[in-house]
Amino acid sequence: MTSIRRHCEGRLSEGGSGQNVADTRSFVARGRRKESGLLSALTARFTVKAHERWTSSMIPFIQSVRIRGALREREHRNCVCVALSRDEQEAEEQPSEAAHDEPYDPYLHRVTDKPVSDFGSLANLIKSAVGTGLFAMPNAFAGVGLFMGIVGTMLMGLLITGSLQLLVRIHHLMCIRLKKPILVYDNVVVAALTTGARKPWLSARAATFIVDSTILLCYIGIGSVYIVFIAGTIQQCVDTEKVIAQSYYALILFPFLFIMNIAKNLAAIAPISVAGNVLFASAGIIGIVYALKDGIGDTWVTIGLDFSLYAKFAGMVFFSMCSPGLILAIEHSMEKPWNYPKACGILNWGMTTIVFVHIFVGAIGYLKWGPEALGNFILNHEETDAPTIVALLMQALAIYFSYGLQCYMPITILKFSYAIPAIESGAWKGTPFLWDLIIRFFITFITCIFALAVPRLDLFIGLVGSICISTLSTIIPCIIYILVHYGDFGKFKWRLILGVTMFSIAFIVTVCAIVTNLTLLVEFFTHGYIIIMIFNI
């Protein structure tokens, strides 16, 4: 290409005709265009090949860069997730300001499988307190007289109701403090003793053991009293000659009592409680009508002069009008639990009904039979009279329906506080279902054994009421009320004054009742009544 161009340029320089010059120039122009096209083609081909070589050499580098980028992105994601999890954990351990601004509401977080209506809860409350003690009220009035019996029952009812209101409100405060929807009785006491601004008085384990032991003793005693009542009633109906001792009827009743303890929750017990209330009311009406049929007696007094029996009266009233462990259990099962502690709520209406029913039955029975009123005033009726037999059978059936309600609390404590944790930790072998049956069998058996040992109804009622029920229903609520409000007693320290006053009254009454009933029990064993009752066949 270069030689052609030089040849043409030489011809032009040598000169020539115009036609030749024009031909030569057109030839040169065509040559240059060809040269330009060839150069462009060569350049393009070189560029494509160079690009291919560059791309093939850069692919591993690009892939390595992409891999490093993906790894860095994954590490970034992991760091973000760790940071978020740490933030969530810190948020759980240290609630945010919004959580502090909005207080915890236990009612909103509570989930109940089978909620009970207000009417069903009222029936459970009345049924938990109206039991064997109701028909023993004439015997309690016989020790203090008519006037002191009425006034004393009202004052005791006011003390018990006020203490139970304190217990329910403390339960609500402890649920807010611990951010839990519900707490059982022993957990409320443990939380009050081990939390707060002041130094804990007891360790959580010691407090739990003391409270659980008291509750178990209390409700096992109540169940034993119920068995004594049923056994005595059956003996009165089918064995008027007392060929078989009353104690043996307690063992005969064991399989039927075990069936009542199969109920899993309060929702299953509520219909039975309603039926029991109807039977109790019917038996009470028959007893009252029978007592008023021939007019009142003339052996009653206005004020009893034997002050040693006043403490026995207090123990019997404590037993008759309160079931402290079930107070919170009934509130837990309610569909509308906020209606429970109101001024005109379920608790106050139920306790008011309980107090006036006990006053009415105690006064009528005492006016009829005076100091001769028995532990079950229906037994003062003529044994062969048809209304008496019907009333006794209604009583026995109603108490039988109530037995499972009283055993619900000890079964729940032993199962959920001891058996299930021991199974989960591996300390106990077996399944929760197996241990559930064992616990229900044990509670039924031990109540029957206690009923066999002490078949004297009035002594058993006074002893259990003075030692256990008074402690759970009045003394412990007053103590934890003072501890919970420590440092915040209000204007003029009215909360402290209220708690100390109620505690002082409850403590004095409880100590006197315990001493008196223990003395009567010692006399009972000293005279050999227990041997006579067991072996009188």
We report the CATH number of the domain holding residue 505 as 1.20.1740.10
Closest CA to 465 of 123, 193, 168, 139: 139
Assess contact for 232 and 455: CB atoms under 8 A.
yes
Residue 117 lies in a domain: yes
Question: Is 45 a domain residue?
Answer: no
C-alpha separations of 407 from 97, 224, 262, 324 in Å: 44, 10, 10, 13
Q: Give Cα 369 to chain centroid, integer Å.
A: 43
Q: Which backbone phi and psi does 116 adopt, to 5 degrees?
A: -105, 140
What sign has the CA pseudo-torsion 315, 354, 162, 407? Answer: positive
Residues contacting residue 425 through CB under 8 Å, at least 6 positions apart: none
* Residue at 98 is within a domain: no
- Which two structure tokens, joined as six digits, stand for 462? 């006074």
Q: Residue 152: its pLDDT value, please?
A: 93
Burial (Cβ within 10 Å: 0-12, 13-18, ≥19) of residue 173: middle
Residue 468, exposed/middle/buried by CB under 10 A (0-12, 13-18, 19+)? buried
The torsion defined by the Cα of 309, 314, 319 and 320, in degrees rounded to 10, comes to 90
**Does residue 265 lie in a domain region?**
yes
The pTM assigned to this predicted structure is 0.70
pLDDT in the model for residue 78: 47
pLDDT of residue 79: 44
- How does pLDDT run along the chain (537 residues), one tens digit per residue? 445 444 444 444 444 444 444 554 554 455 555 555 554 554 445 444 444 554 454 444 444 444 445 444 444 444 444 443 444 444 444 444 444 457 888 888 888 778 888 898 998 888 777 777 888 899 999 989 999 999 999 999 999 999 999 999 999 999 998 999 999 888 898 888 888 766 776 777 888 888 888 888 888 888 888 898 888 888 888 877 777 877 788 888 999 999 888 877 777 777 887 788 788 888 888 888 888 887 788 889 999 888 888 888 888 888 888 777 778 888 988 988 989 988 889 999 999 999 999 999 999 999 989 888 888 888 887 766 788 888 888 888 988 888 888 888 889 889 888 888 888 888 888 888 899 999 999 999 999 998 888 777 777 777 888 888 888 889 999 999 998 988 888 888 999 999 999 999 999 988 888 888 888 888 877 765 544 444 444
Instruction: Residue 376: name the closest of 512, 510, 235 by CA.
Output: 235
- How many Cβ atoms from other residues are within 10 Å of residue 332's Cβ? 18
Whether residue 357 lies inside any domain: the answer is yes
Residue 49, in any domain of the structure: no
Evaluate whether residue 326 is within a structural domain: yes
Among 318, 280, 286, which residue's Cα sits nearest to residue 131? 280
How many domains in the chain? 1
Range of the domain at 115: 106-535
Coil vs helix vs strand at 500: helix
**CA distance from start to end of the chain:** 146
| Residue 75 located in a structural domain | no
Residue 8 and residue 440: Cα distance in Å, rounded? 126
Helix (H, G, I), strand (E, B) or coil at 438: helix
Please report the pLDDT score of residue 114 as a whole number: 81
Selection from 139, 49, 160 nearest residue 371 by Cα: 139
